[in-house]
Amino acid sequence: MSEILIGEILLDIALLLGLTFLLGGLLERIHVPVILGALLVAMAAHYTPLGSHLLSGELYQVFSFMADFGVMLLLFFIGLQIDMKEMRSQGGDIVWLTVLNTSFPFILGMLVMLLLGYGWLLAFVIGLTRMPTAEAVIVPILDEFDMIRTRVGNFIVGAGVLDDVIEVFLVAFVSVWIGERTIEGSLVGSIESEVLRVSFSIGLFLLMAWLAYRWILPRLAEWLPRRPQNLLMLSMLLLLGLGGFSEFSGLGMVVGAIAAGVTIRPVYNRLADTGDKTLQSIRILTYGFFGPVFFFWVGLSVDLEGMVQEPLLALLLFLAAVVGKLLGALFMVPMKKLTVAEAWTIGIGINARLTTEIIVAKLLLDAKLIDIHLFTALVAASSLSTILVPLLFTWLVRR
């Protein structure tokens, strides 16, 4: 990349940060997390030459990488704060929530597609896209309100991590379907082999994380003097290692980032003051720069034009996911697992969505299995969730 392009992306991000800093002062006065200012600024910039500039060519590749690293740091920081004892005590309830908040959106998404005259297989795939949660969008707001270690935080993060496994199988299923759609009878075998591959990857990843937790990290932590910079270097080694392996094996870097934080947390506890200083440094780095960069990428990816082009279809797909996930959370109230207030807050929080359905929609469009109208509606429904869910969630938490 030339010096001119590097200068351009630095100046573009500096401009977005400056606007976010100014807007953040106004948001603070109405008790809205400052990090949402990055989302709002980028949404506005999407329709300006600045947005077009950052979303084109080599600049986009660099910008996208910075955003990916930003979300890894966000989720690593969240993983560092997860109370595993508390989450284990709620493990059964979290599994129930995941089952319910994926089943209802899936069923409603299928019904929408079938009622609109689409085929069963396509309706099945689109129904699957209503299921995942993009916890990376909502957990920074949880952290702003010191809710990571609460019941609400545990449910959202726990269900979000389990959703990530569903995302892996969703993308794998669509990829296999596209690759085998013309070969009669070969789809079932291909899906079985894909399930085995993903299951093996999950098992190998869990083994690596356990070995790091029990044997490797405690010894490495004693290798260099107990200083924050050394612990930070060890943290980045683990984050990039687990994140890279989980991404390479198809599990997604989200799983690797959260697992890295959970895995190294005992080392932070053991190093006491050094651990506290390092944790504070990571928080400053994450929320001071890389977090906003990630939200810039989210905001610039939002395209509201789809709501104008395909308003009914986009709205129906949006409602299928929102109503389905709310029903899943509210269904746990009569089961005595959540209060009404918790169910509403969690139901909105797990509605955050971002990339998976857009990736799947792009795969289907490229394979000519859906038309441009359905693709536009899927992107618009995702964009609408990206805008409304953080704002609604902030309002609910404040109440």
Q: Where are the domains of the chain?
A: 3-398
> Would you state the pLDDT for residue 195?
62
Average pLDDT per 10 consecutive residues for the chain, totaling 399 residues: 74 88 79 74 83 75 82 80 64 80 88 87 82 72 75 79 64 57 47 65 81 85 85 90 79 76 86 86 84 81 68 87 89 85 86 67 69 77 77 80
**pLDDT reported for residue 185:** 44
Instruction: In whole angstroms, give the CA distance from residue 118 to residue 103.
Output: 20
Tell the CATH topology of 3-398.
Na+/H+ antiporter like fold (1.20.1530)
Alpha carbons 132 and 167: distance in angstroms, whole number = 6
Which helix H or strand E contains 279, and what residues bound it? helix 273-285
CA distance 121 to 115: 14
Residue 108, pLDDT score: 92
Spatial contact of 40 and 15, defined as CB atoms under 8 Å apart: no
Q: What is the model's pTM?
A: 0.66
Do 324 and 109 contact (CB within 8 A), yes or no?
Answer: yes
- Tally helices (H) and strands (E) across the chain: 20, 0
CB 152 within 8 A of CB 184: no
Tokens of 227: 């200083």
**What pLDDT, on a 0 to 100 scale, did the predictor assign at position 43?**
80
Per-residue model confidence (pLDDT) at position 175: 55
Alpha-carbon dihedral sign for residues 302, 308, 310, 316: positive
For residue 1, the model assigns a pLDDT of 57
**Residue 111: per-residue pLDDT:** 92
What angle, 0 to 180 degrees and rounded to 10, lies between the N-to-C axes of helices 35-45 and 135-144? Answer: 140
